[in-house]
């Protein structure tokens, strides 16, 4: 989903978090809030996010919603992903775990990129997407340093290419 507009609010953790060896001028952890884009503002969707260079093997993703939740304990690992869906069924909670078929993500990405070069197509994850990620990360750091929300404008074109064939 492309970022249309975001209001990022962060708190500097420089006093309580040691500097990151990957980025010495910043703290090892960042916490921020992303409000829903203005086109969806009536939904009230707000994401509270935390990222850390210093969290050992923490690769989880959790979504909390009114009628349930989704959790991926190893969302960003190279293998072993699981999807846990929790919801209400009547007055009782229900929990379903789905295994995600293992795939060699690097081989698939290399094959897709080679086919795009060969056929003159735009890859699913072009350089523009990486650039947009960098813009978002800089906005998070700037918001934390200045202690003000930072508004991001919609990119001129979608940063993500078409789905792989």
115, two tokens: 């086919």
**What is the pTM (predicted TM-score) of this model?**
0.60
Sketch the domain layout of the chain as residue ranges.
7-55+104-151
Under the banding of pLDDT at 50, 70 and 90, the label for residue 18 is: low
Q: Residue for token digits 């989903």?
A: 1
Kindly give the pairing relationship between strand 46-52 and strand 61-65. Answer: unpaired
Alpha-carbon distances of 63 from 53, 71, 117, rounded to whole Å: 21, 6, 36
Distance separating alpha carbons of residues 32 and 141, to the nearest angstrom: 9
Per-residue pLDDT band for 110 (boundaries 50, 70, 90) equals very high
Instruction: Say what percent of the chain tops pLDDT 90.
Output: 18
Given a cut of 80, whether residue 126 has pLDDT beyond it is yes
Both tokens of 19, joined, read 């500097």
CB atoms within 10 A of CB 89: 8
Of residues 56, 52, 59, the one with CA closest to residue 20? 52
Distances from the Cα of 126 to the Cα of 54, 76, 102, 117, 130, angstroms: 28, 20, 24, 12, 7
Task: Write out the two tokens for 32.
Answer: 């921020």
């Amino acid at each position: 989903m492309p970022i249309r507009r975001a209001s990022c609010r962060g708190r500097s953790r420089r006093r309580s978090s040691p500097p990151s060896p990957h980025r010495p001028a910043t703290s090892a952890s960042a916490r921020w809030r992303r409000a829903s884009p203005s086109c969806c503002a009536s939904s009230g969707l707000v994401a509270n996010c935390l990222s850390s260079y210093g969290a050992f093997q923490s690769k989880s993703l959790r979504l909390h919603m009114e009628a349930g939740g989704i959790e991926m304990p190893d969302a960003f690992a190279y293998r072993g992903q699981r999807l846990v869906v929790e919801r209400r069924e009547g007055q009782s909670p229900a929990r379903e775990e789905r295994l995600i078929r293992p795939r060699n993500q690097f081989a698939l990405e290399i094959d897709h990129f080679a086919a795009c070069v060969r056929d003159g197509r735009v890859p699913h994850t072009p350089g523009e997407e990486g650039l947009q990620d960098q813009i978002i990360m800089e906005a998070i750091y700037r918001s934390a340093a200045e202690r003000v929300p930072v508004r991001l404008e919609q990119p001129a074109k979608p940063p993500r290419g078409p789905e792989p064939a």
